[in-house]
Amino acid sequence: MAWEQPPGFTLRQLSYLLAAARHGTIAGAASELHVSPSAVSDAITQLERMFTVQLCVRKQAQGLTLTTAGRHLAAQARPLLAAAKDIEAQAKAPEGQLAGPLTIGCYPTLAPKVLPVLLDEFGAAHPFVTLEIREDSQDRLFAQMEAGEVDVVFAYETLVPGKPRRAKLMERPAYVVLSPDHPLAVEDAVRLEQLADWNMILLDSPPSREHTLSLFAERGIEPKVRHRTSSFEVVRTLVARGLGYGILVQRPENSASYEGLPLTTREIEPPVAPVAVEVVWPATHKTSTKVQALVDFAQTRAWNL
């Protein structure tokens, strides 16, 4: 049948195009692929001749940039190459076993409790699945998922773009973290109004930043942000040194900072709406068996995040 005939391009040509787009240079792609720059350049040129369209703009000083047609082809090529890798891995795996690569994206504050479970427990249940991980801010993770570079994302429910498939794993309200010497540490619970005159250490990474600031904005309060950091543990370390308070959601088992200084936590009064932790995966194409297995595993496990 006609659809069974091989196409006029190869998977190798597509992989060279994607590598060049990823690195932004022919030389960078060639280095990653362990081939000559001319081999990468020739592969892209052959694709352009076949599709009769310019796929990229090559500037010697500024590297390589995909055109609109090039971005469209790259978006189609990623799942095609992933499917080819799955076919290869599945053919080599024992019958009935899931196999092949699976890339998991995770918001950094969730990573210490989510990734070890997935790599250990899910990995043990599916030994022929190659688990790869990416930690990044949620906006970047969802952009990577849309580009086909990440298969599934573990993140907070806020600022999830588009209409992907998603499932709630658990939810928790934000709380206040303080140094035991802070004057408000004597309170059983803390009102956000009580924090207005004290310095805040802001977890400055989306969506944590937006969520924290929205809690104050809803009550007409503008917090005094003294320091900003994208690191969960740096927030805790600065708070433990008495430089300010923090508003966090994740609750680690350790009640001390990285420096070993004690921390104390207080609930917010009146209670704020809880924020959910979700597993999110694309709705633009059929969910693969591997992704569905991971989602099912995540949904049936009891999480303490």
Question: In the sheet that 152-156 helps form, which strands lie side by side, from edge to edge?
Answer: 129-135, 100-106, 152-156, 275-281, 165-172
**Residue span of the structural domain in which 230 resides:** 175-271
Alpha carbon separation from 264 to 259, 267, 273 (Å, rounded): 15, 10, 21
Q: 151-188 pLDDT, tens per residue?
A: 999 999 988 989 999 999 999 999 999 999 999 999 99
Q: Which pTM does this prediction carry?
A: 0.77
| Of 213, 217, 214, 250, the residue nearest 231 (C-alpha) | 250
Q: Are 128 and 149 in contact (CB under 8 A)?
A: no
Q: 18-58 pLDDT, tens per residue?
A: 899 888 999 888 999 999 999 999 999 999 999 999 999 98
Q: Are 279 and 295 in contact (CB under 8 A)?
A: yes
Q: 63-116 pLDDT, tens per residue?
A: 889 999 998 898 888 888 878 877 877 777 777 789 888 999 999 999 999 999
Quote the distance between the C-alpha of residue 189 and its chain's center.
33
CATH of the domain at 202: 3.40.190.10
How many Cβ atoms from other residues are within 10 Å of residue 4's Cβ? 5
Same domain, 228 and 280: no
Same domain, 67 and 128: no
Quote the distance between the C-alpha of residue 49 and its chain's center.
36
Same domain, 239 and 210: yes
Residue 141 has pLDDT above 80, yes or no: yes
Residue 211 has pLDDT above 60, yes or no: yes
Same domain, 66 and 111: no
Same domain, 137 and 68: no
**HSE of 67, CA atoms in CB hemisphere, 13 A:** 10
